[in-house]
Chain A
C-alpha cells in the first residue's frame, strides 16, 4: 500500500512498519520542514505504538533544523509508545549525526532490510 500524502514525503507500509521516504534531495528551508511536520505528526497520532522508519535514501543534504524536527518526531513516537528508526543515511549526513552525538539518540540502520529486523 502506498499513500502519497505530501509531495515532499511518500509513505509506504511494509511488515507493519510505516516507511516514510522524504523525496527532496535537500531539506533545508522552514517551509519544507513545516510541511514534513504536518504530515508526520497526524500519522503518529493516528497509530498508537507506531513503528516508523524514515528512509533517507534520496536525501543528500540537510541542516540542523531537520535534526530538530527529528527530535520532535521522536518525542511524539515515544509518547505513543512506538519506535522510530532512520535508515539509508548518506555518509556525509551521518557525520552530522556523529558530530552532534544524535547517533546515540536515534536508532540508525544501514538499510531498510536491517531496519525491519531491528524495529
Chain B
C-alpha cells in the first residue's frame, strides 16, 4: 500500500528542454494524485521549471553530453526534490536582487527569487551545483 502513497524516483536527464518538459509532466501527475491544492501545484510547477532550466542552461551550459540528476520524494504531505547539474556551481548569496534598481529591467535573474517565494525549503550544496527544494502541502507560501 505504501508504494501507492509514496513516490520516490532517481532520474538522470539529458540537458535538453524536451527532457525538462517530460520530467515536469511526470512529477506533476504524481503531485496531483496526492491531492495537492491548485496553488501548491502551480508553485511546484514553476519552481521545477525554473530549477531544471537553471541546471540545463546555466549549470550544464545546454551541453547535451552533460546530465542533470534528480532525486525526488513525493508523499501526501510534501514534495521533496534534489536537482544536481555537472556545472561549476555558483554562490546563491551572490545573486543580485532582481527587484532592485536597474535589475528590475533586466531580462534574466528572477528564477531563484521565484523558487524562494514558492518553496518552503531551498538549499544548495557547498559547490552550488545541487539544489534541494521542499514544498509542504497546504503551507502558505512566503
Tell me the A residues contacting B by CB distance below 8 Å: 28-31, 61, 63-65, 67-69, 71-72, 75, 92, 96, 99-102, 104-105
Contacts and interface: CB of A to CB of B under 8 A. Distances in A.
B17 A99 contact: no
Where chain A touches its partner, the secondary structure class is: helix
Interface of B: 17, 21, 39, 42, 45-46, 49-50, 53, 98-99, 104-108, 110-111, 113-114, 117
Given A29-B21, A100-B98, A100-B113, A63 B105 contact: no
7 contacts: A28-B21, A30-B17, A63-B50, A63-B53, A68-B107, A99-B113, A99-B114
Given A29-B17, A29-B21, A105-B104, A99 B45 contact: no
Contacts of B50: 63-64
A35 to B, nearest CB: 13
B99 A101 contact: yes
